[in-house]
Structure 1
Amino acid sequence: MRDPVIGIDLGTTNSAVATVEGGQPRLIPSRAGGRLTPSVVGLTPRTAERVVGVPAQTLAEEHPDCVVWATKRFIGRRFTPELLQSARAVVPYPLMGGTTGDVRVKMAGRTVPVTQVAAMILGELKLDAEAYFGREVSQCVITVPANFDDGQRQATREAAAIAGLDVLRLINEPTAAALAYGLSRGFEGHALVFDLGGGTFDVTVLEVTDGVYEVKATGGDPALGGEDFDLRIVDWLLAQVEEPFREQVHRDVTSMHKLKVAAEQAKRELSEYEETLISLGGLGDHSQPTRKFTGLETALTRSFFEQLCEALSKRCLAVCESVMRDARMEPSRVDAVLLVGGMTRVPFIRRLVSDFFGKAASTEVNPDEAVALGAAIHSDELTSQAGAALLLDVVGNSLGVGVLGGKVRRLIARNRSVPVVAKELFHPGSHNQKEARIPIYQGESDLQDENRKLGELVLRNLQAGSRADTPLEVTFELSNEGILAVRAVDLQTGLSEQVRVEARPHLPAPEADRLVKEQAAYSQKQAQVDARKSEDKFRKLLERGEKLARLLQHSAEENPGEQNETAAANVRSLLDTGRVALESQDAARCAQVARELSHLLAGRQA
């Protein structure tokens, strides 16, 4: 039996895990029974016990200072004053810098690396998959936004390693969504993926032909997502709080969390109705011993919500226009538009898409599930080597070398196909220079200050002489996963240096080792709890199966026929297999029988 492989969508708002069974991708339910896991993590106030997903959302109602969410926006980033300032407008919890400059969050009085938060979510998805299969699961494909840089991708890999996962490949979220869409419908032509998630916005144009998925252009806004639309409602609600209380509410974590939850609920309701009522109480300063609170009663219409978000809508359109220019295509040439991300359920977003491209977007794929399903398809492709699909992706951000005058000379342009190797000759900045520093930048500007510096390669022991007589060949090599290697060679002497560019600081090795051990201990303890629950659940499932077997047997006796007799025999055989597996403590076999029996029972009820 081949080891199970999974596809993971590690999202800003929700995360999901999927697999391929019988040639079809399917979502793996959480152990709590849901299809999606909220990307929310908390630590309980007294015991610092971790909670992930819905339990963390519940904890936030009473202890919002013990919970963090939307941390994907900060993974793999370097802690800077600019990042701190921008974060304050998006999330209420404090951000802090680690010893190596990594980003950390504070919850329940503890400082936690953002990478560890991601690992906690990934670990929970891993446990869901292991409960589903009844065996250990380690191999996976994880999706990332198309505009994630090398640092963010490597931080995602580091989080997966802490969670005990072996990442076969990272693939871009829009490409994964198109993969699910294409294989499920046999689509060929130009497809555009409009991916508006909780924290990021990506647009990708692909050409699908005979199982080849060739990305033509990709672009996005890394600071635009559902969270920003929610904040428009939060700001509007805050403006309606009575003046004596407004500043208190703005400073109070509990009150602001109430506004955030109300905003999310209002946004969802406005996708179904033209108007929603918002009623809130307990707004004020919860830290004061003498508490005085106020409330808020208001109504929000769909049309006014659209006005509040007009500037955000324009940013969405600007990205679409930019990507179509890069693809050298008119919007009308797009054959199908695939919506991805929960925000694409909002009516005015769908209207915006249909107006721009001149056609209604596809609604045949669940926008919350498409990315995970595509990741599962690709993970199955990689392990089975079936060769049904070939992914040809592109560079999400231009890459270049800093030169004299504060400029950047571009070696790899955005939207160039990957993998790619680019070479160019440079010379030292002055005569008799004994070492050359080669700064590496990412971004679309010609100016260094307007781009992001990824790192620096230093070539030492140059032969002193005229700069014109010291040619330096710089080579950029970018992998399928957007991982950059840079090499510099002094062509006169053959002296060379090479570096794998790291755009972020790693966690300190001792801390990373400690987190791996903590996660392993948590997973082992939780797996034992899950095993007991699974056994109890399986026994009850066998009881339901027994009732179905008697019903089918009775039906076969009243209406003799090969079909009825076969159906009864199949269920009886499945039950016998299940009992043997239960007695021998074969968890994997029990899980397989449970999946088959659940499918039969669900079909019978339908």
Structure 2
Amino acid sequence: MAAAMAVLGSSILALLLAGYLAQQYLPPPKPKVIGVDLGTTYCSVGVFQPGTGKVEVIADQAGRKTLPSVVSFTDREILVGYGAQEVGDANPLNTVYDAKRFIGKRFTPEQLSDESSRYQFKVLYHKGDAQFSVSMNESFRVTPEFVGSRLLLELKKMAEDYLGMPVSKAVISVPADFDERQRNHTVKAAQLAGLDILRVINEPTAAAMAYGLHKVDVFNVLVVDLGGGTLDVSLLNKQGGMFLTRAMAGNNQLGGQDFNQRLLKYLYNRIYQRFGTLPSNKRDIHHLRQAVEAAKLNLTLSDTALIKVPISLPDPRQPAEVPTDDKGGQADGGIQVLLEETVSRDLFEELNRDLFEKILEPVREVLSRGHLDRYEVDEIVLVGGSTRIPRIRQVIREFFGKEPNTSVDPDLAVVIGVAIQAGIVGGSWPLQVSALEIPNRHLRKTNFN
């Protein structure tokens, strides 16, 4: 008996040693499950690397780790991401963005009319759902799930190119306030793209995991998610490895696009003051928007940014008729000018002062609903590219009297957390502490508009 036990013990020891040596010296297996952040403005995909325990956010061929959540329908093809963004100003009626705002959401005709009034593409009512009317060779309707599936197909292809093998399983994130129907329709979009969704995780929980908060001793976590078009603030309570969303508030009409618009309006005023007319060529307007976005990004690092864009302006002495191209924009001609404008960070902050202060409205609301004093928040997590803006970080820091956590790229925080969860679901080693979400089905999000 003793001999048998000795043999068994030796066998177990040999097995453990073989496993250790395999982990140390054999190439790690490829990730089996991808993590997907299907964002309102940008989306991304990542994988948890077995063996190293690191997350790799997958880049496209140009090295970009985020994909614009834009799909454009043309006579010849369906463009996705940056390609769709490029033709957006020239093809506005058939370029759909913000589809996530509509996915799985129920509307009355009046609600949908109000929601769709700020978009150039047509949003149609269909038995309580939203559909988009687009035209290629002929007009037809597409659903928000279809638009989402085209983005997910592109992310899936990026992952397959990176891994060198087919991908079929994923974990996906959704806003914490998504109801069961919205979650199901998000899963349906993934299924249309050939993805089997193993788990749906809330975006604030994913962000907390990206910051490693599932492995440290914290209790009250505030997640401020400010992207291109929406602001979401969530108060999480962490107990052991479980996260409970205690309160939510936000503004679905506040984000980086609004900050851009203020600067663009300022440039229009400067152009009119100098030349007595405004650009109407869609190509020039597109270039102006690109320059504004670049200036905003530069001002996060520098005190000034130079905007330098050649534009064509209609002759103010001949306003009666403006020649147009076949897409409805002003044709080449008129006055050719070079717009050069130096924009300071102080000017940008002054143009957006009231919008930056609006960020605190949902913050105060979640603290009130969570019966929590601002000084009782253990960790403030920033998510979304717009939280890079220095003035926004300053507003949050001054309100809480402490530094927000900025150790993770805010554009990639959600996808990093989702990829960690994908690694856990896929059984990748080294094993991570899993974060469980406690469903709070009675929770409602307060919206400030």
Whichever residue aligns with residue 295 of structure 2, its letter is A
User: Please, which of 314, 330, 334 is the counterpart of residue 292 of structure 1?
Assistant: 334
CA distance in 2, matches of 1:3, 1:158: 23
CA distance in 2, matches of 1:346, 1:128: 29
Report the CA distance between 1:203 and its aligned residue: 1.4
RMSD over equivalenced CA pairs, Å: 3.2
Judging changes above 3 Å, is the alpha-carbon distance between structure 1 residues 234 and 148 closer, same or farther for their aligned structure 2 residues?
farther
Matched with 1:157 is 187
Matched with 2:367 is 324
Judging changes above 3 Å, is the alpha-carbon distance between structure 1 residues 356 and 294 closer, same or farther for their aligned structure 2 residues?
farther
Aligned partner of residue 349 in structure 1, secondary structure: helix
Aligned partner of residue 242 in structure 1, secondary structure: helix
Report the CA distance between 1:31 and its aligned residue: 4.4
Q: Is the 8 A contact 1:119 1:159 kept in 2?
A: yes
Per-residue CA shift, 1:504-560, capped at 9, x if unaligned? Answer: xxxxxxxxxxxxxxxxxxxxxxxxxxxxxxxxxxxxxxxxxxxxxxxxxxxxxxxxx
Report the CA distance between 1:65 and its aligned residue: 5.9
Q: Report the number of matched residues.
A: 396
Matched with 2:147 is 117
Matched with 1:132 is 162
Give 5+ residue unaligned stretches, structure 1.
397-411, 416-442, 445-606
Deviation beyond 6 Å, 4+ runs, structure 1: none
Judging changes above 3 Å, is the alpha-carbon distance between structure 1 residues 364 and 163 closer, same or farther for their aligned structure 2 residues?
same
CA distance in 1, matches of 2:112, 2:262: 20
Give runs of aligned pairs for residues 20-59 of structure 1, distance below 5 A.
20-21=48-49, 22=51, 23-43=53-73, 45-47=74-76, 49-59=77-87
Matched with 1:304 is 347
Give runs of aligned pairs for residues 280-429 of structure 1, distance below 5 A.
280=309, 281-282=311-312, 286=325, 287=328, 288=330, 291-292=333-334, 295=337, 296-384=339-427, 388-393=433-438, 395=440, 412-414=442-444
**Identical-pair percentage:** 35
Q: Is the 8 A contact 1:174 1:202 kept in 2?
A: no
Give 5+ residue unaligned stretches, structure 2.
1-28, 315-323
User: Please, which of 101, 111, 122 is the counterpart of residue 95 of structure 1?
Assistant: 122
Judging changes above 3 Å, is the alpha-carbon distance between structure 1 residues 340 and 329 closer, same or farther for their aligned structure 2 residues?
same
Judging changes above 3 Å, is the alpha-carbon distance between structure 1 residues 414 and 270 closer, same or farther for their aligned structure 2 residues?
same
Q: Which stretch of structure 1 is more off in the superposition, 62-71 or 368-377?
A: 62-71
Judging changes above 3 Å, is the alpha-carbon distance between structure 1 residues 158 and 291 closer, same or farther for their aligned structure 2 residues?
farther
Matched with 2:296 is 267
User: Please, which of 274, 286, 299 is the counterpart of residue 257 of structure 1?
Assistant: 286
CA distance in 1, matches of 2:200, 2:246: 19
Matched with 1:216 is 246
* Greater share of helix: 1
Q: Is the 8 A contact 1:147 1:202 kept in 2?
A: no
Report the CA distance between 1:115 and its aligned residue: 2.5
Taking structure 2 as the reference length, the TM-score comes to 0.77
Q: Is the 8 A contact 1:14 1:36 kept in 2?
A: yes
Per-residue CA shift, 1:369-427, capped at 9, x if unaligned? Answer: 1100111122233343968223234548xxxxxxxxxxxxxxx3538xxxxxxxxxxxx
Matched with 1:563 is none
Report the CA distance between 1:358 and its aligned residue: 0.9
Taking structure 1 as the reference length, the TM-score comes to 0.59
Judging changes above 3 Å, is the alpha-carbon distance between structure 1 residues 297 and 10 closer, same or farther for their aligned structure 2 residues?
same
Matched with 1:525 is none
Q: Is the 8 A contact 2:48 2:420 kept in 1?
A: yes
Q: Is the 8 A contact 1:10 1:144 kept in 2?
A: yes
Q: Is the 8 A contact 2:93 2:121 kept in 1?
A: no
CA distance in 2, matches of 1:107, 1:292: 31
Is 1:226 the counterpart of 2:256? The answer is yes
Q: Which stretch of structure 1 is more off in the superposition, 380-389 or 177-186?
A: 380-389
Report the CA distance between 1:125 and its aligned residue: 0.6
Pair member with larger Rg:
1
Q: Is the 8 A contact 2:71 2:151 kept in 1?
A: yes
Report the CA distance between 1:105 and its aligned residue: 5.2
User: Please, which of 35, 45, 48 is the counterpart of residue 7 of structure 1?
Assistant: 35
Q: Is the 8 A contact 1:221 1:319 kept in 2?
A: yes
